[in-house]
Amino acid sequence: MQRRKFLRTAGIGGGAAVVASTVAAPAIAQSMPELKWRLASSFPKSLDTLYGAGENFTKFIGEMTDNKFQVRIFASGEIVPGLQVLDAVQNGTVEMGHSAGTYYIGKDPTLAFDTTLPFGMNARQQEAWMNWGGGKELLGEVYKDYNTISIPCGNTGAQMGGWFRKEIKTPEDMKGLKFRIAGIAGMVCAKLGSVPQQIAGGDIYPALEKGTIDAAEWVGPYDDQKLGFNKIAPYYYYPGWWEGGPQTSAYINLQKWNELPKGYQSVIQSAAARAQAIMLSKYDAENPKALRELMAAGTKLLPFPQSVMEAAFNASNELYAEISAKNPKFKKVYENWKPFRNEEILWFRVAEFTFDSFMARQSAANKLG
């Protein structure tokens, strides 16, 4: 089947060469072969913004190719468990996935750079790193070992710090805290003395209600509201210092990608970029209303104390040094990512943050209404 697909698309090189010329190409059927692919999403349909990015991605691919290139999306668990999407793409069980690198740090923590790391870059800075800072090339090497190409396809923006049953006043309060938090953020929390818990979305509510866990992080107001955490935990902390600009990714099986005509590769990249913009802007548009409603229903909104943020920042740096010492791939990406982050934040402190800060002050003074 794969061999036949290869043969069917093997004549595409000529088509691609025509693309580069300035003369209109004659209509060659092979330049737009009929393909029916499947995409496994790591997200449930209930997370309509995250799942929606995959849905839009596949929809745009169909639209742009007159439905010659059809990709059918399957929600988490429908054909592939949500956290095994990379495996399924690697093995060719599905041609495509929509997922997040950070779900696969058990394979290699380096994959987290494709999403974000605690105290990483914000959404715009992450995109700058991916497009212009070397991120795309470095992560391309890493994903190659998993027979996959990863293309940015979504970002949530800075997330919230989650729902807590008791107040967090000092780093001491993090000690012994049974906190539903996954991945590298969980490893940082462990350094602070917390007991990180990995619990699937649907199981968080009862665990938090019963007191099996003391706190749980999810996404932000729009998604959190749906799960009703506000009914069982009074304190809603911010910011989610472990997810300042987490990116989600479209995965494509590397052989399948290489067999595609250049035109379809371009369609995929543009569809992903458009789906990303729609997803991030939807969170930015929907979160304010959800947060208002949560607060009207009694949620107490609190910032993490600076001392807790500082302790988490130091623990993160320690962790990155430890991982770098034993993982040369992680070290290689980290040593590119870290100075890029530094430069980005230096620059953002100038025009972007001072503009945003002034507007925030006007907001605090009720001058924007």
- Name the segment binding its own copies (CB under 8 A); options: 16-24, 172-180, 209-217, 319-327: 16-24
Nearest-approach distance from CB 301 to its own copies, in angstroms: 7
Please report, as a single letter, which amino acid is at residue 114: D
Q: What ranges in 71-200 are assigned the alpha helix state H?
A: 85-91, 123-132, 135-144, 183-191
Q: Does 346 bind its own copies (CB under 8 A)?
A: yes
Positive or negative, the CA dihedral 38, 101, 337, 128 is positive
207 vs 290, which CB is nearer to its own copies?
A: 290
Q: Which of 9, 99, 102, 125 binds its own copies (CB under 8 A)?
A: 125
The answer to the question of residue 6 lying near its own copies (CB under 8 A) is no
Interacting positions 104-123 with its own copies (CB under 8 A):
119, 122-123
Q: Is 357 in the site for its own copies (CB under 8 A)?
A: yes
Least distance to its own copies, CB of residue 265, Å: 8
- Footprint on residues 302-341 left by its own copies (CB under 8 A): 303, 306, 309, 313, 338-339, 341
In whole angstroms, give the CA distance from residue 141 to residue 138: 5
Q: Is 4 a binder of its own copies (CB under 8 A)?
A: no
Q: Which of 6, 7, 10, 63 binds its own copies (CB under 8 A)?
A: 63
- Using an 8 Å Cβ cutoff, are 262 and 139 in contact? no
Count of chain residues binding its own copies (CB under 8 A): 104
Q: Binding pattern to its own copies, positions 214-253, x when CB under 8 A? A: ------xx----------------xxxx--x---------
The residues in 17-36 that bind its own copies, with binding defined as CB under 8 A, are: 18-19, 21-25, 27-29, 31-32, 34, 36
The least distance separating its own copies from the CB of residue 248, rounded to whole angstroms, comes to 14
Strand ranges (E), the chain: 35-41, 69-74, 96-99, 148-155, 162-164, 178-180, 195-197, 215-216, 235-238, 247-253, 300-303
Task: Work out whether 8 is an interface residue with its own copies (CB under 8 A).
Answer: no
Map residue 215 onto helix, strand or coil.
strand
Residues forming a β-bridge with 253: 148
- Considering the rule CB under 8 A, would residue 38 count as an interface residue with its own copies? no
- Which has the closest alpha carbon to 184: 83, 269, 263, 111? 111
> Cα(first)–Cα(last) distance of the chain, in Å?
61
Contact residue for its own copies among 288, 321, 322, 335 (CB under 8 A): 288
Binding-site residues for Na(+), please? Answer: 218
Q: Scanning residues 139 to 198, which ones bind its own copies (CB under 8 A)?
A: 157-161
DSSP letters along 59-96, please? HHHHHHTTTSEEEEEE-TTTSS-GGGHHHHHHHTSSSE
Residue with tokens 């595609």: 260
Q: How far is CA 284 from the centre of its chain?
A: 15
